[in-house]
Amino acid sequence: MYDKIYIFGIISAISLISMFFIPILAHAFLPTQIFASVVLPVISIFFLIFCLSLAPLFIKAVLTSNIAIWKKFPARDNSTFQSFRNFVIVNEVRIFYILLVISWGVFILGALIALPEMIKTGFFDPKSYDPKDFQ
Protein backbone atom coordinates (compact mmCIF):
# COMPACT_ATOMS: atom_id res chain seq x y z
CA MET A 1 0.00 0.00 0.00
CA TYR A 2 2.85 2.40 0.75
CA ASP A 3 4.39 1.92 -2.69
CA LYS A 4 1.08 2.13 -4.55
CA ILE A 5 -0.14 5.39 -3.04
CA TYR A 6 -1.55 6.52 -6.39
CA ILE A 7 -4.55 4.24 -5.79
CA PHE A 8 -5.69 6.60 -3.02
CA GLY A 9 -5.37 9.52 -5.43
CA ILE A 10 -7.62 7.75 -7.90
CA ILE A 11 -10.15 6.92 -5.19
CA SER A 12 -10.20 10.50 -3.91
CA ALA A 13 -10.65 11.89 -7.44
CA ILE A 14 -13.53 9.49 -8.17
CA SER A 15 -15.27 10.31 -4.90
CA LEU A 16 -14.83 14.06 -5.43
CA ILE A 17 -16.27 13.84 -8.94
CA SER A 18 -19.12 11.70 -7.62
CA MET A 19 -19.90 14.25 -4.90
CA PHE A 20 -20.39 16.88 -7.59
CA PHE A 21 -22.20 14.96 -10.32
CA ILE A 22 -24.51 12.58 -8.40
CA PRO A 23 -26.58 15.42 -6.85
CA ILE A 24 -26.81 17.20 -10.19
CA LEU A 25 -28.01 14.09 -12.00
CA ALA A 26 -30.26 12.98 -9.15
CA HIS A 27 -31.88 16.41 -8.89
CA ALA A 28 -32.65 16.34 -12.58
CA PHE A 29 -34.27 12.90 -12.55
CA LEU A 30 -35.58 12.21 -9.02
CA PRO A 31 -38.42 13.77 -7.04
CA THR A 32 -37.46 15.84 -4.00
CA GLN A 33 -38.44 13.25 -1.38
CA ILE A 34 -36.41 10.49 -3.01
CA PHE A 35 -33.54 12.92 -3.56
CA ALA A 36 -33.39 13.79 0.13
CA SER A 37 -33.68 10.21 1.34
CA VAL A 38 -31.28 8.57 -1.12
CA VAL A 39 -28.73 11.11 -2.30
CA LEU A 40 -27.80 12.72 1.02
CA PRO A 41 -26.61 9.45 2.63
CA VAL A 42 -24.76 8.57 -0.58
CA ILE A 43 -23.01 11.95 -0.62
CA SER A 44 -22.12 11.53 3.06
CA ILE A 45 -20.52 8.16 2.28
CA PHE A 46 -18.58 9.65 -0.64
CA PHE A 47 -17.38 12.49 1.60
CA LEU A 48 -16.12 9.99 4.17
CA ILE A 49 -14.37 8.00 1.42
CA PHE A 50 -12.83 11.25 0.13
CA CYS A 51 -11.46 12.15 3.56
CA LEU A 52 -10.16 8.65 4.21
CA SER A 53 -8.42 8.49 0.84
CA LEU A 54 -6.75 11.90 1.18
CA ALA A 55 -5.12 11.04 4.50
CA PRO A 56 -2.49 8.63 3.08
CA LEU A 57 -1.62 11.08 0.31
CA PHE A 58 -0.96 13.93 2.71
CA ILE A 59 0.88 11.77 5.23
CA LYS A 60 3.22 10.38 2.57
CA ALA A 61 3.79 13.83 1.05
CA VAL A 62 4.75 15.37 4.40
CA LEU A 63 6.82 12.40 5.50
CA THR A 64 8.82 12.07 2.27
CA SER A 65 9.38 15.82 1.96
CA ASN A 66 10.69 16.01 5.53
CA ILE A 67 13.02 13.07 4.92
CA ALA A 68 14.26 14.63 1.68
CA ILE A 69 15.02 17.90 3.47
CA TRP A 70 16.75 16.08 6.33
CA LYS A 71 18.94 14.11 3.91
CA LYS A 72 19.87 17.24 2.00
CA PHE A 73 20.79 19.24 5.10
CA PRO A 74 22.30 16.87 7.64
CA ALA A 75 22.62 17.90 11.27
CA ARG A 76 26.12 18.76 12.48
CA ASP A 77 26.10 17.49 16.04
CA ASN A 78 24.93 14.46 17.98
CA SER A 79 21.72 15.90 19.33
CA THR A 80 18.39 14.42 20.19
CA PHE A 81 17.03 15.75 16.92
CA GLN A 82 19.67 13.81 14.96
CA SER A 83 18.70 10.54 16.62
CA PHE A 84 15.00 11.29 16.04
CA ARG A 85 15.71 12.12 12.43
CA ASN A 86 17.67 8.91 11.90
CA PHE A 87 14.87 6.93 13.54
CA VAL A 88 12.28 8.47 11.17
CA ILE A 89 14.46 7.85 8.11
CA VAL A 90 15.01 4.20 9.02
CA ASN A 91 11.38 3.52 10.02
CA GLU A 92 9.60 5.58 7.37
CA VAL A 93 7.06 2.92 6.38
CA ARG A 94 6.19 2.03 9.97
CA ILE A 95 5.66 5.67 10.88
CA PHE A 96 3.48 6.11 7.80
CA TYR A 97 1.21 3.26 8.88
CA ILE A 98 1.04 4.50 12.48
CA LEU A 99 0.04 7.99 11.36
CA LEU A 100 -2.44 6.52 8.88
CA VAL A 101 -4.17 4.39 11.50
CA ILE A 102 -4.34 7.35 13.89
CA SER A 103 -5.80 9.70 11.26
CA TRP A 104 -8.31 7.13 10.02
CA GLY A 105 -9.32 6.46 13.62
CA VAL A 106 -9.93 10.15 14.23
CA PHE A 107 -12.01 10.45 11.03
CA ILE A 108 -14.12 7.40 11.82
CA LEU A 109 -14.57 8.40 15.46
CA GLY A 110 -15.72 11.86 14.36
CA ALA A 111 -18.18 10.33 11.92
CA LEU A 112 -19.52 7.98 14.60
CA ILE A 113 -19.96 10.88 17.00
CA ALA A 114 -21.72 13.04 14.39
CA LEU A 115 -24.00 10.33 12.96
CA PRO A 116 -26.47 10.06 15.87
CA GLU A 117 -26.87 13.84 15.95
CA MET A 118 -27.43 13.91 12.19
CA ILE A 119 -30.13 11.26 12.52
CA LYS A 120 -31.71 13.02 15.51
CA THR A 121 -31.89 16.41 13.79
CA GLY A 122 -33.37 14.88 10.64
CA PHE A 123 -30.48 15.23 8.21
CA PHE A 124 -31.44 11.99 6.45
CA ASP A 125 -35.21 12.46 6.90
CA PRO A 126 -36.86 13.47 3.60
CA LYS A 127 -39.79 15.08 5.44
CA SER A 128 -37.52 17.67 7.01
CA TYR A 129 -36.63 19.21 3.65
CA ASP A 130 -38.72 21.76 1.85
CA PRO A 131 -38.95 21.16 -1.92
CA LYS A 132 -38.11 24.84 -2.45
CA ASP A 133 -34.66 24.21 -0.97
CA PHE A 134 -33.69 22.16 -4.01
CA GLN A 135 -34.87 24.52 -6.74
Q: Which residue has the higher pLDDT, 3 or 47?
A: 47
Would you state the pLDDT for residue 69?
A: 86
Spatial distance between the Cα atoms of 17 and 22, rounded to a whole number of angstroms: 8
- CA-derived radius of gyration, the chain: 21
Spatial distance between the Cα atoms of 68 and 89, rounded to a whole number of angstroms: 9
Spatial distance between the Cα atoms of 65 and 58, rounded to a whole number of angstroms: 11
- The secondary structure of residue 5, as a DSSP letter, is T
Residue 55: pLDDT band (50, 70, 90) is very high
Average pLDDT score, the chain? 83
Mean pLDDT for the stretch of residues 4-28: 89
Tell me the pLDDT tens digit for each residue of 79-129.
777 788 888 888 888 999 999 999 999 999 998 998 888 888 877 666 666
Does the pLDDT value for residue 27 go beyond 80? no
Nearest by Cα to 93 from 119, 121, 67, 73? 67
Q: What is the pTM of this model?
A: 0.75
